[in-house]
Chain A
Amino acid sequence: MSGKPKLGILQQALGDEETGRLNAGTKILLALVGIAVVIAIVRYIVGLGATTNLNDAYPWGLWISFDVLCGVALAAGGFTLAATVYIFQLRKYHAVVRPAVLTALLGYILVVIGLLVDLGRYYKIWHPMVMWQHTSVMFEVGWCVMLYTTVLFLEFAPAFFERYGYKNIRALIRRYTSPFIIAIMTLFAAAMSHSVLWTAIVFAVLGFLYMLVARGALREDADTPLLLVMAGVILSTLHQSSLGSLFLILPHKLSALWHTPMLPIMFFVSAVSAGLAMVIFESTIGSKVFRRPLELDVLKGLGKALPYVLSVYLLLKIIDIVARGAVDVAFTMSAQSILFWIEIMVGIVLPIALLLSTDVSRSAAGLFWSALCVIVGLVLNRLNVGIIGIKVESWQTYFPSWMEFAISIGIVSAGLLIFTAAARYLPVYEEDDPEIARERRVELAAAKE
């Protein structure tokens, strides 16, 4: 028995491995989370009017634009990388899939928490599950987010089982994941289409694929079944784009700079770029915080794909604005047009210019800063669509209250802390090839006997 002092849960999870001391950064994050919790309780007691600056002209503010819109878009790394690795079989990126999935999972859970604070009647958040209004974009968003969070849970679950065993539960999950996916996707199709035909088609297509896998005609990774990854990509595509579709019904309320019938496509493409950028971003930060080697090869690959995605996005934006005749608005002198230009220049043009230069796209620092530009551009875009681009009377105004900021910051801090704790307890980062790691464990077990 060594003389290790008794450590509390927080110190065990987040503190130094030897002494349990929490460093300054962790303490600050914990404090921010604590403040947010207190403010959330206040919000539930006194209501939204007293804690936020939301008003009838700006019913949606920081929490929707940042926590929900940005949170979902920045978690797009999960589905982009899962598709890259498990469908397009680019195994080179395997090392970054799991951290991306974890980021996405935490991101979505925190989006739901953010919603629980923002919704006026939060205790009825389950209503869309049973009250169906399939013409409403928000209905689709709610269902997609709910189902996709489940998918993310299942995609991340193998990490839990690798560490803690529970072989029988793991086997159960392995066996029933695909049928479960077929069931929820069929239910989803029924809720969205209100048509027996479409529901039957979805069931048939997914069922056919399941049959191919079961018969052995298609092989799949036991822990990440094909249907699971496919459901993840389908649901992500749908809700990343429908977060944009939310604003389609607002031609009167959203500035012409951003309101376009192409909103869903714009949101989707920008989410893909943000997903790739986030993977670069959190890998770099993760390698510093957890003192791990940086997978530069992987990041360089992502850095090569990013300029293409950004160029497509830029092209779509320019063509869209010209085709809609909204160019005049871009040249007026207003807060909206200035932020529009910043969004394009800093968020799209600058990273393209940076990543086209070989020196930048080959260096860790260059990739990091380019990714940061993309992320800033994405956050600015969502804030523009959600708050800044909203048209109101001249006497109506909105700026988030300090309590709104506190909750948003607290949510991000909570995400960072949970990620750190998860990385300590679960095999989020693979040391080497999983095959070798498995062999080693078998050897160790054999040696013990």
Chain B
Amino acid sequence: MEQRDTRITIFTTFVIIATAIVLVFACSIMMSLRAEVKALKDQLATKEDLVAVKTAGMNLSFTQEKCTRCHTERRFAGDHANGTKKGIAQMIHNMEAQPDVKLSHADVRKIHASLNLMKCASCHSAEEVKKLALMTDAEQTAVIRTMQRTPGSKISPDEIDDIKASFQVLMGF
């Protein structure tokens, strides 16, 4: 009988201590969980936040950095927004030949792309154009095609890929 009593006492003590430990741990987990829930933000991220993150530092008007030293914005908004690819290339080439103009290859590509995207500027703001950043390649093509089909877009079908490529150049791809 005595031995059984001893065994029961030992077993009980063991269980009590073990339970106490698990209890302390469980409380600790519960409290840290509550703290985490409390710290959840009330404001969730919006689509604009996502776009802002993905296009951080993207400059749609790259031309502003390179061209407005000598020209006003109106100068190219008017003259070159509807220019042909060849025309634009020739014009940039002419500018490069000027003294004091330092344009690297990457710069030229970006200027090209910038001027190209001015086609979008006739209807859309920069923020709206930047939303393209959230889309996959195929989705971008689809959206641009839809815009092209809209009457008054002044975009020809073979310029779709060009516009998409321009956007990606400015994204830094």
CB of B146 within 8 A of chain A? no
In the assembled complex, the CB of B1 is this many whole angstroms from the nearest CB of chain A, namely: 12
Q: Which residues of A contact B10 (CB under 8 A)?
A: 353-354, 357, 360
CB of B29 within 8 A of chain A? yes
Tell me the bound Cα distance from A345 to B6 in angstroms.
19
- For A, the interface residue count at a CB cutoff of 8 angstroms equals 20
Q: Which residues of A contact B24 (CB under 8 A)?
A: 318, 322
CB of B17 within 8 A of chain A? yes
Stretch at the interface among A48-56, A199-207, A325-333, A425-433: A325-333
Given A344-B21, A357-B6, A359-B6, A327 and B28 touching (CB < 8 A)?
Answer: yes
Tell me the bound Cα distance from A176 to B28 in angstroms.
56
Tell me the bound Cα distance from A328 to B29 in angstroms.
7
For A359, give its contact among B2, B14, B18, B32 (CB under 8 Å).
B2
Contacting residues of chain B (1-39) with chain A, CB-CB under 8 angstroms: 2, 6, 9-11, 13-14, 17-18, 21, 24-25, 28-29, 32
Tell me the bound Cα distance from A263 to B69 in angstroms.
64
Instruction: Flag if B17 contacts A353 (CB, 8 Å).
Output: yes
Given A357-B9, A359-B2, A325 and B32 touching (CB < 8 A)?
Answer: yes
Tell me the bound Cα distance from A349 to B25 in angstroms.
15
Instruction: Flag if A331 contacts B29 (CB, 8 Å).
Output: yes
Q: Which residues of B contact A344 (CB under 8 A)?
A: 21
Q: Which residues of A contact B14 (CB under 8 A)?
A: 349-350, 353
Residue of B nearest to A317 (CB): B21
Instruction: Flag if A330 contacts B13 (CB, 8 Å).
Output: no
Tell me the bound Cα distance from A353 to B8 in angstroms.
11
Q: Which residues of B contact A357 (CB under 8 A)?
A: 6, 9-10, 13
In the assembled complex, the CB of B31 is this many whole angstroms from the nearest CB of chain A, namely: 9
Q: Which residues of B contact A354 (CB under 8 A)?
A: 10
CB of A356 within 8 A of chain B? yes
Instruction: Flag if A356 contacts B13 (CB, 8 Å).
Output: yes
Contacting residues of chain A (338-376) with chain B, CB-CB under 8 angstroms: 344-345, 349-350, 352-354, 356-357, 359-360
In the assembled complex, the CB of A332 is this many whole angstroms from the nearest CB of chain B, namely: 12
Residue of A nearest to B11 (CB): A353
Instruction: Flag if A352 contacts B32 (CB, 8 Å).
Output: no
Instruction: Flag if B25 contacts A331 (CB, 8 Å).
Output: yes
Instruction: Flag if A353 contacts B21 (CB, 8 Å).
Output: no
Tell me the bound Cα distance from A356 to B6 in angstroms.
10
Tell me the bound Cα distance from A352 to B11 in angstroms.
11
In the assembled complex, the CB of B33 is this many whole angstroms from the nearest CB of chain A, namely: 10
In the assembled complex, the CB of A340 is this many whole angstroms from the nearest CB of chain B, namely: 11
In the assembled complex, the CB of A310 is this many whole angstroms from the nearest CB of chain B, namely: 10
Residue of A nearest to B6 (CB): A359
Tell me the bound Cα distance from A321 to B27 in angstroms.
13
In the assembled complex, the CB of B29 is this many whole angstroms from the nearest CB of chain A, namely: 5
Q: Which residues of A contact B17 (CB under 8 A)?
A: 314, 349, 352-353
Residue of B nearest to A322 (CB): B28
In the assembled complex, the CB of B155 is this many whole angstroms from the nearest CB of chain A, namely: 52
Residue of A nearest to B5 (CB): A359
Tell me the bound Cα distance from A354 to B29 in angstroms.
30
Q: Which residues of A contact B32 (CB under 8 A)?
A: 325, 327-328
Tell me the bound Cα distance from A248 to B24 in angstroms.
26
In the assembled complex, the CB of A364 is this many whole angstroms from the nearest CB of chain B, namely: 15
Given A322-B28, A352-B13, A353-B14, A360 and B6 touching (CB < 8 A)?
Answer: yes
Q: Which residues of A contact B21 (CB under 8 A)?
A: 314, 318, 344, 349
Instruction: Flag if B25 contacts A345 (CB, 8 Å).
Output: no
In the assembled complex, the CB of B67 is this many whole angstroms from the nearest CB of chain A, namely: 51
Tell me the bound Cα distance from A129 to B28 in angstroms.
47
Instruction: Flag if A353 contacts B25 (CB, 8 Å).
Output: no
Q: Which residues of B contact A322 (CB under 8 A)?
A: 24-25, 28
In the assembled complex, the CB of B154 is this many whole angstroms from the nearest CB of chain A, namely: 57
Tell me the bound Cα distance from A356 to B12 in angstroms.
11
Tell me the bound Cα distance from A264 to B116 in angstroms.
67
Instruction: Flag if A330 contacts B25 (CB, 8 Å).
Output: yes
Q: Which residues of B contact A359 (CB under 8 A)?
A: 2, 6
Q: Which residues of A contact B28 (CB under 8 A)?
A: 322, 325, 327
Q: Which residues of B contact A350 (CB under 8 A)?
A: 14
A-B pairs with beta carbons under 8 Å apart, 13 shown: A318-B25, A321-B25, A325-B32, A327-B29, A328-B29, A330-B25, A331-B29, A345-B18, A349-B14, A349-B17, A352-B13, A359-B2, A360-B6
**A positions within 8 Å CB-CB of B:** 314, 318, 321-322, 325, 327-328, 330-331, 344-345, 349-350, 352-354, 356-357, 359-360
12 more contacts with CB within 8 A, not counting A327-B29, A349-B21, A353-B10, are: A318-B21, A322-B24, A325-B32, A331-B29, A352-B17, A353-B14, A354-B10, A357-B6, A357-B9, A359-B2, A359-B6, A360-B10
**B positions within 8 Å CB-CB of A:** 2, 6, 9-11, 13-14, 17-18, 21, 24-25, 28-29, 32
**What are the 8 closest A-B residue pairs judged by CB atoms, nearest first?**
A353-B14, A353-B13, A359-B6, A322-B28, A327-B28, A327-B25, A349-B17, A357-B9
